[in-house]
Amino acid sequence: MKPLKLALRIWITITSLLSFLVGWALLSHAPKPASIFSSQTNLSSVSSPAAVDPLPTLAPIPSLDSILTNPNTTVNLQPLPSFTNNASNNNFLPSFRTRGS
């Protein structure tokens, strides 16, 4: 068994050394990684406020009162009052249908 073990150790050592050398050679010839900045851009131009689009202006957050009194709102709040308020629309008329019984 001893000669077999010795041969195995030698084989492992040689293949490890060869793999290391091949890897070293490949990496030394590989292309270098590109910079995250293009060649025309530098850090100072990126940080300049003039080059950034202005942030949009947001509408003011509506108050709870205005949401509750606006019938067109789509915000789903807690249980709505059961009565339908159509006071803001003077032309509103409920739909009456004969149905029949």
Partner 1 sequence: MHSYEFRAMNTGILLAGEGPQEAVETGFSLAQKFIEDSEKRFTRFSSQSELSQLNRSAGGWFEASKEMFAVVSLALQLYSQTAGLFDPSILEALEQAGYDRTMDEIRLYGPTQVTVLARPKLHHFNEIRLDEPGCRIALPAEMRIDLGGIAKSWIAEQAALLLSNWTEACAVDAGGDMFFIGLPPGEKAWKVTLEDPLPLGEGGGLAVIKAPAGAVATSTVTRRRWKQANKEQHHLIDPRTQQPAETEWLSVTVLASHAAQAEVFAKSLLIGGPQEVERITGRAGDIEFIAVDYQKKLWGSQHILEKIDV
Give yes or no for residue 94 binding partner 1 (CB under 8 A): yes
Q: Which range, of 3-11, 26-34, 71-79, 92-100, touches partner 1 by CB under 8 A?
A: 92-100
Q: Which range, of 39-47, 50-58, 72-80, 83-91, touches partner 1 by CB under 8 A?
A: 83-91
Separation of first and last alpha carbons in the chain: 104
Minimal CA–CA distance to 9: which of 24, 17, 23?
17
Separation between Cα atoms, residue 66 and residue 64, nearest integer Å: 6
Give yes or no for residue 96 binding partner 1 (CB under 8 A): yes
Contacts to partner 1 by CB under 8 A: 82-87, 90-101
